A and B are shown apart, each in its own frame.
Chain A
């Protein structure tokens, strides 16, 4: 299968030629496939944000390439512009970028920059607001009168309204309570499913990743030492710990159980899988 987005030998150096020179990405090769739900994890400062800002052409690689559907996004001005619209990026704490008088206008900012007509803009704004469960009545309010969680949703809607085929979110749930977190993740899953969009989420939370992502990419020190389905990734418990990442609680419990000699599936990482694994184990024991 052709990847929708691909990086080839991607390197990024911040402030080259000064004493503050810092290589944030080194020779990163990554392929992202149409329709997948990808999780990017890594400890703070590992280069996650730097990596995703390359995917829609906000940062220019120091060397290497970023390909969108096989075409270099830096090939021409037009292809960079296209990359910005096709790959939607929601920044960390996106609520700080709101600026319009009303929520409606703020969500419409992206679609308007795309040069769409008013009817289409209206359709997209309403649909995006529905995706993030913002009631119609909020649309005419000022974004600055909303609660933090609502502001976050307005900001996410602002990117969703551009209907990108790849949606990237940098720590979309940072600083939200469990209910708010669940809501936003649910909204993103809805978008993924109904638009068949590719979604990339950056997160610190293993539990969150375990539950939502189909494939995980681990960024460490500007490289990608591990990638694969959560099952495989969480089997590398010790390596993850060394990189300053944990494994989900359930995975840890099951590793310990196995270490203690219990005959159970070691690749368990969610509560549901744990329940099934324990039931099978008990079922066997009963027999």
Chain B
């Protein structure tokens, strides 16, 4: 249960860790744009190289990054298979292989390979963001980036606050789930065997205490926030002031440059 690395933060002190969260969010967005503009081996090579550089700079172990991928292997496999079988070859192109209703063209192999690469890169770059940025900083960054939307009455502050609270409580709830599961196991509860109906029933001793404690925590948190005079975002100043440094402007321009290069490559038919 403890081993969910999905979206986990690994503290560190590298250039990537120190970047302003807004920079990282925008750079990730630009990177994803570049990823979808890439059409050829050359352009995929460029985006792959950029990611490799970022990973190297952040000192996140490739192993850790790959472990996060386990959750999506199934989706990647399905997408790749669909691409493999449903991509028609160019007119006149001979199929590589044909059996029953399955026909595979060289174009299909290429499409599948690109699709795998695209999904993996997409996930890697978002993982890199969450691995190197604390959730609190991500929400802070998002709140600042989205603050223009306040003009059209989107409750940006409230959304960001909800998100930080939710993020803050995920580890707590996971830990709590672990603890309650152990406690019920000690009383002979069995969560892992039996058919679906039995397993669903076995969850009652887990879910009831979990919900009760979640509500209790929510209550306590609300009281604690009110005791400290929290009354929404109006007029609040921040503990962490986000400031752009030279490196942030550099990262922005590199992000834009990346998009332009990949776009230009695509225009040149590469």
Q: Are A99 and B208 closer than 8 Å at their CB atoms?
A: yes
Shortest CB-to-CB span from A152 to chain B, Å, is: 13
Chain B residues, CB < 8 A from A56: 186
Assess whether B186 is in contact with A84, with CB atoms less than 8 Å apart. Answer: yes
User: What sequence of 0s and 1s flags, for each residue 165-193 of chain B, a beta carbon within 8 Å of any chain A beta carbon?
Assistant: 00000000000000110111111111000
**Complexed CA–CA distance, A99 and B213 (Å):** 11
Q: Which of A15, A94, A98, A113 contacts B189 (CB 8 A)?
A: A113
Q: Which of B2, B3, B180, B188 contacts A97 (CB 8 A)?
A: B180
Is B227 part of the contact surface with A, judged by Cβ < 8 Å?
A: no
Q: What's the least CB distance linking B133 to chain A, in Å?
A: 15
* Contacts known (A15-B3, A98-B209, A99-B209); A109 close to B187, Cβ less than 8 A: yes
A residues 92-139 touching B (CB-CB < 8 Å): 94, 96-99, 109-110, 113-114
For B186, list chain A residues within 8 Å (CB).
Answer: 56, 58, 84, 88-91, 159
Contact A158 B212 (CB under 8 A): no
Distance between B65 CB and nearest chain A CB, rounded to angstroms: 12
Query: B residues within 8 A CB of A109?
Result: 184, 187-189, 205
Tell me the complex Cα distance, A194–B188, Å: 24
A68 CB, min distance to chain B CBs, angstroms: 14
List residues of chain B with CB within 8 A of the CB of A88: 186
Q: A94 contacts B3, CB within 8 Å? A: no
**Is the pair B182, A84 in contact by a Cβ cutoff of 8 Å?**
no
Complex-state Cα separation, A249 to B10, whole angstroms: 44
Instruction: Tell yes or no: B64 within 8 A of A by CB.
Output: yes
Distance A158 CA – B209 CA, assembled complex (angstroms):
15
Q: Which of B10, B64, B182, B209 has the most CB of A within 10 A?
A: B182
Rounded to whole angstroms, the CA-CA distance of A85 and B185 in the bound complex is 10
Indicate the member of A15, A19, A81, A162 with the most B CB atoms within 10 Å. Answer: A19
Across the interface, do B188 and A84 meet the contact criterion of CB distance under 8 Å?
A: yes
Known: A18-B5, A58-B182, A89-B186. A96 touches B205 (CB 8 A): no
* Nearest A residue (CB) for B202: A113
| A18, chain B: closest CB distance, angstroms | 7
- In the assembled complex, the CB of A114 is this many whole angstroms from the nearest CB of chain B, namely 6
A15 to chain B, nearest CB (A): 6
Query: Is A267 on the interface with B (CB-CB < 8 A)?
Result: no
Please pick, from B2, B179, B185, B208, the residue contacting A84 in the complex, using a CB distance under 8 A: B185
A18 near B64: Cβ-Cβ < 8 Å: yes
- Within 8 Å CB of B205, what residues of A? 97, 99, 109
Contact check, A159 vs B187: say whether CB atoms are below 8 A apart: yes
A15 touches B182 (CB 8 A): no
User: In whole angstroms, what is the CA distance A150 to B189 when docked?
Assistant: 23
A89 to B204 Cα, complex, angstroms: 20
A58 touching B185 in the complex, CB below 8 Å, given contacts A96-B213, A97-B180, A99-B209: yes
B183 touches A97 (CB 8 A): yes
Question: Are A99 and B204 in contact, CB atoms less than 8 angstroms apart?
Answer: yes
Would you call B185 and A97 a contact (CB within 8 A)?
no
Contact A113 B182 (CB under 8 A): no
A110 contacts B187, CB within 8 Å? Answer: yes
Asked if B187 contacts A91 (CB within 8 A), the reply is no
Q: Which residues of A contact B188 (CB under 8 A)?
A: 81, 84-85, 109-110, 113-114, 162
CA distance A261 to B212 in the complex (A): 58
* CA–CA, A110 and B187, complex, Å: 5
Distance (Å) between the CB of B80 and the closest chain A CB? Answer: 28
Q: In the complex, are the beta carbons of B182 and A91 less than 8 A apart? A: yes
List the B side residues contacting A99 at CB < 8 Å.
204-205, 208-209
* A218 to B10 alpha-carbon distance, docked (Å): 33
CA distance A81 to B64 in the complex (A): 34
Minimum CB–CB distance for A20 against chain B, Å? 9
Q: Are B209 and A97 in contact (CB under 8 A)?
A: yes
| Among all A-B residue pairs, the 7 with the closest Cβ atoms | A113-B188, A99-B208, A110-B187, A97-B183, A89-B186, A91-B183, A99-B205
Can you name 23 A-B residue pairings with CB atoms under 8 Å?
A15-B3, A19-B10, A56-B186, A58-B182, A58-B185, A58-B186, A84-B186, A89-B186, A90-B186, A91-B182, A91-B186, A97-B184, A97-B205, A99-B204, A99-B209, A109-B184, A110-B188, A113-B187, A113-B190, A114-B188, A159-B186, A159-B187, A162-B187
| A-to-B contact residues, CB < 8 Å | 14-15, 17-19, 53, 56, 58, 81, 84-85, 88-91, 94, 96-99, 109-110, 113-114, 144, 158-159, 162
CB within 8 Å of A: which residues of B? Answer: 2-3, 5, 10, 63-64, 179-180, 182-190, 204-205, 208-209, 212-213
Given A15-B2, A84-B188, 7 other A-B residues pairs in contact with their CB atoms under 8 A:
A15-B3, A18-B3, A19-B64, A84-B186, A91-B182, A91-B183, A159-B186
